[in-house]
Amino acid sequence: MKNRSVIIFLTVVIAILCIYSLSFTWVARGVRNDAKAKATNKEGIEDAVKRQEILRNKSYETVFDIGIAQYDYNSVKKRELGLGLDLQGGMQFTLQVSHAELLKILAGRRAKEAVFQKALASAKEKQKKSSTRFTQLFADAVEELAPKTQLSRFFVSSTNSEITLQSSNNDVIKFLDKKTEESVDIAFRIIQDRVDKTGLANPSISKVPASGRIQIELPGVEDPERTEKLLKSQAKLEFWGVYDFQGLAGGFSQFVDYVNKTEASSTTGSKKEGNTDANPFAKKDDSTKKDEVKQDTTSKKTDTLSKPKADSVKKNDTGKKPEPKKDTTKKDTTNKNSNSAAFNKLFSIGAGNIFYVKLEDTARINKIFAKEEVKAMFPSDFVYMWGAKVDDEEKLGNGQDNPTKSKLPLYFLKAGVDGEPLLGGDVVENAFRDYDPQKGYGVTMVMNVKGAQDWARITKENIGKQVAIVLDRAVYSAPTVQNEITGGNSSISGNFTLEEAQDLATILKSGKLPIPTEVVERGIVGSSLGQESINQGLLSTLVAIAVVFLFIYLYYNVAGLIVWVALIANIFFTLGVMASFGTVLTLSGIAGFVLSVAMSIDANVLINERIREELQVGKSFGEAVRIGYTKAYSSILDSNITTFIIGVILYLLSEASLVRGFAITLMIGICTSLFSAIFITRLITEVFYVSRGKALSFKSAFFNSIFPKTNFNFIAIRKKAYMFSGAIILVGAILAVIQGGFTFGVDFTGGRSYVVAFNKTIPTNEVRETLSKTFQAGTEVKTFNTSSQVKVTTNYLADDADADAKVEAKLKEGLSKYQDAKPEIVSFTKVDSTVADSILDTARYAVILSLIAMFIYIIARFQYWQYGLGALISLAHNVLITLAFVPIAKVFGLNLEIDQVFVAAILTVIGYSINDTVVVFDRIREFAKQSIDSKDFAGQLNSAINDTLSRTVVTGITTITSTLILLFFAGEVLRGFSYSMFIGIVFGTYSSIFIAAPAVLDFARRKSAEEAKKEEEKRLAEEANAKTEIKS
């Protein structure tokens, strides 16, 4: 074996990296288990609030020290292999930027015109039943209402240079699409920032391409209503006045005395952290930038805003933070009470006389300021707000430790008239990143005319004073005004990186463009349902692995033990890679994991069967190993590449986290199984056997008698196979028509779905009848997981995005009949009808794209179109057979829904089927020597099918067994997936033998017949010409 040392080195390095990545999971689980134990009393009752409090206190405490690096709990939590919603409960949202509101904002006053309003209403109505972009629907509606109207007249403004009155409608639509994407980016940035500040483990936030939607998954969320409010609330940009310390000296004198008197007993040794109402999700940042605000260079004046000297001293050459001024004011206001221990424990004074507070003390400060007696100490226009970032500087300028490190700044602001800020963020027309060669990256703000006038007045009135820039009640900076700023163009500059400047520009834009978001899909999974999924997932995984291991040992004898090593390495590497990439493990991911383990057998089987063949013709063991691996490479690579392509399509085109989780796990499993099967097994075989002159036993008396050298004439019965498959498809189609068609899931139809748990078995027919009368709309009820749980799906008020409470109330009204069974809603999912249409279209595209991709790949690899078409027919056959068995299953009481998870199963069946087909095709190519024109091509096909029969059956048995285990043990969530996979793999194995290869033969013979006919016609024409010449 060449490069043996390189393989050993790579294996060791990958193993070390996997151990490192997985170690964070063990540490994080250990911290949480420890917190749970401390929060559980002697009676075994857990205090959830206390547990969360313990974990918050651990946020910045080192919990994992590996010598060269230390990690606090937050860092460990971000690196662990997290659990998805279906495994631990939580919430899932799909938010959509309101396209109608965006167009209103861009149109300004023209949005009040009758044509605009009617077109907007028409577009909103059409969007419910169309997947066409909203901007195009709006443009079409304008054309219908007022033909030949230029769209530009609605959206041209003095602050917008991207379009003019002469711009075509297509240009305006492109402009609107661009603005839509920008607004989605803004919303995504704000939501991501908010979610990050919650401190939740393994949140998932992603944009759905070209849809204007944002998907959010929050595992472990315990307060759904608060979370939804947090996500839906709009970013609010404001400019506030800032009280100087002297202006509050009198009030602070009383405040210091009050704190020392009331908090002395509770501050000693206190490390209790609470929830900060003003800014509950403060985010640790790399550094607190010292910025300046100045007028844009395009303005006539060059007046600047800058931070006070003590607060914005530039870092010296050592890069350290400046030492804060000694706070003489503090002495003046506290000398009346020499015992200031409580106050000093709660507050630290930083540069610029800014107060800093530990994160764990912010809740206590909030409670103090909320008291009426404390409010009375300060002016009526006094407002306090927390900073947006903790101080992250390690050292001061003099080299001493920074006393305010990891603490949050507290700002004392001054409200304007009626308690409002000096200026609202709605005056900011635009904000963009800029660059100054001397000062680096910055952000330029452009205000509208009214804002520019107000800004000039405010800066003139506050020269020498600070103005705070506030977003979502958090202070981002508080620069000092140096001069009046006119023109409305100002810039913020400081030690920003390119990304930080871009982020700040995005944040400032959000103040200018407060686009509402709509919840178009929402799901809640209860923690009890999540634990049930964990149990089912673990059980199905362990049983599947045990069965596969036992079968491989029985089939390959001692050689099966090497396959065991490869499988264990594959499992370990898969989990390690998932952890290193921050992948969240879901129930569908477990299914993908189980399937990848079963399919990883295929590579080992291909290699072992090739080695067996070489041993049977008398080759030495070492030579058989070398030739076996060499001959198996092409089949292994082709079969795994095709399955990987399916995984990519699943991941890119699906919006369902279940499907994406499955796709990610499947793709990672394919990569790790290739490494394990090709390199690790060969390394073990050559090191422990070949190099020592030993031979490895591949013989199993039992299975050798089952798979002797077969010589079945599969080609001869191909027409019977065609008829058999056609009959199944026909029966399925007839049953589907009789049953009223397929039952589509809520993600394809729109509506709401609930999982309801009872304390006893309730007949589903009775529940369906009751709820149908209650809803007076389409309602489906079926058993879910256990006989005491049902899944209720209804399209009642499906088009009303804000009717969640109404529908839930109706459901509870209908379930009131079963109060003695104590019904409880443990899971909820809502899908807007517009989103459902989009998901259904995407599912169709995914299946079609998969078939086309497989067709192209097969033609590219095997050179003849007959192979590509044969494979395509085989794949289409497998899809139709799988669909046919859905109504057949309904006859036997198994009601299945066609949803995204079912489509994922169909695509996986395509991937598996092509895997099987490619192996047969590869052997055909080997026999036929790249030609399909041989007279004995049918015999070559038979030989190829017979030679690969043992591999086909062995791989089929392991994979079918795994899907059967998933079907019986993985629970209702994956019931449809497992059933479809089982049918698909059974008939995928069948089609690779009876459909794919015979179809290639039929197409090849048709080609040969056509060519023979042309040759005959040519011969007859030549003879006719010859006779004519003779006569002449």
* pLDDT recorded at residue 585: 75
Residues 6+ apart with CB under 8 A from 830: 519, 521, 522, 523, 746, 751, 752, 753, 804
What is the DSSP code (8-state) at residue 424?
E
- 805 with 911, same domain: the answer is no
* pLDDT recorded at residue 201: 59
- 169 with 71, same domain: the answer is no
- 111 with 174, same domain: the answer is yes
Task: Select the highest-mean-pLDDT range: 480-494, 557-571, 926-940, 964-978.
Answer: 557-571
What is the number of domains present in the chain?
5
> What is the value of pTM for the model shown?
0.57
Going by C-alpha positions, the residue among 240, 244, 396, 393 that lies closest to residue 308 is 244
* pLDDT recorded at residue 234: 55
Last residue of a domain, one of 231, 246, 269: 231
Query: Which residue would you say has higher pLDDT here, 526 or 244?
Result: 244
**For 658-666, what is the mean pLDDT?**
74
Does residue 703 belong to any structural domain of this protein? no
706 pLDDT higher than 60: no
Q: Which two tokens stand for residue 241?
A: 């006045």
- 728 with 877, same domain: the answer is yes
Task: Select the highest-mean-pLDDT range: 147-151, 425-429, 478-482.
Answer: 147-151
- 814 with 905, same domain: the answer is no
Last residue of a domain, one of 174, 196, 231: 231
Looking at the DSSP bridge assignments, the partners of residue 638 are none
- 374 with 450, same domain: the answer is yes
> Which range among 453-457, 511-515, 917-921 shows the weakest confidence by mean pLDDT?
511-515
Look up the CATH number of the domain holding residue 765: 3.30.70.3400
Does residue 744 belong to any structural domain of this protein? no
- 416 with 564, same domain: the answer is no
250 pLDDT higher than 60: yes
Query: Which residue would you say has higher pLDDT here, 932 or 480?
Result: 480
410/354 Cα distance (integer angstroms): 7
135/144 Cα distance (integer angstroms): 14
**For 601-605, what is the mean pLDDT?**
80
Query: Which residue would you say has higher pLDDT here, 199 or 276?
Result: 199
Does residue 1030 belong to any structural domain of this protein? no
572 pLDDT higher than 80: yes
Last residue of a domain, one of 185, 213, 231: 231
579 pLDDT higher than 90: no
352-394 confidence digits (pLDDT tens): 668 888 888 888 888 888 888 888 888 888 888 988 777 767 7
- 153 with 253, same domain: the answer is no
Share of the chain above pLDDT 70, in %: 74
**For 173-181, what is the mean pLDDT?**
85
243/465 Cα distance (integer angstroms): 8
925-935 confidence digits (pLDDT tens): 776 655 666 66
* pLDDT recorded at residue 884: 93
Type of residue found at 580: S
Contacts 24+ apart (CB under 8 A), 563-569: 563/601, 563/604, 563/608, 563/681, 565/680, 565/681, 565/684, 566/600, 566/604, 566/673, 566/676, 566/677, 566/680, 566/681, 567/597, 567/600, 567/601, 567/676, 569/672, 569/676, 569/680
- Predicted confidence band at 283 (pLDDT cuts at 50, 70, 90)? very low
249/611 Cα distance (integer angstroms): 88
Look up the CATH number of the domain holding residue 309: 3.30.1360.200
Residues 6+ apart with CB under 8 A from 315: 290, 321, 322, 397, 495
Does residue 704 belong to any structural domain of this protein? no
**For 994-1018, what is the mean pLDDT?**
72
608-650 confidence digits (pLDDT tens): 888 888 888 888 888 888 888 888 888 888 878 888 888 888 7
* pLDDT recorded at residue 707: 57
- 925 with 973, same domain: the answer is yes
**Is residue 123 a contact partner of residue 141, using CB atoms and an 8 Å limit?**
yes
- Predicted confidence band at 295 (pLDDT cuts at 50, 70, 90)? very low
**Is residue 530 a contact partner of residue 89, using CB atoms and an 8 Å limit?**
yes
Supply the mean pLDDT for the chain: 76
Q: Which two tokens stand for residue 398?
A: 């003099």
- 909 with 969, same domain: the answer is yes
What residue ranges in 81-227 does DSSP mark as E strands? Answer: 90-97, 204-208, 213-219
Does residue 687 belong to any structural domain of this protein? yes
Does residue 866 belong to any structural domain of this protein? yes
**Is residue 745 a contact partner of residue 900, using CB atoms and an 8 Å limit?**
yes
Does residue 1029 belong to any structural domain of this protein? no
What residue ranges in 1-147 does DSSP mark as E strands? Answer: 62-65, 70-72, 90-97
* pLDDT recorded at residue 305: 46
- 905 with 977, same domain: the answer is yes
- 285 with 203, same domain: the answer is no
* pLDDT recorded at residue 753: 78
Identify the domain containing residue 15 by its residue range.
4-80
* pLDDT recorded at residue 54: 81
Does residue 227 belong to any structural domain of this protein? yes
Phi, psi (deg, nearest 5) at residue 803: -100, 20
866-924 confidence digits (pLDDT tens): 888 888 899 889 989 999 999 998 888 777 878 767 777 777 787 777 877 888 888 88
Residues 6+ apart with CB under 8 A from 372: none
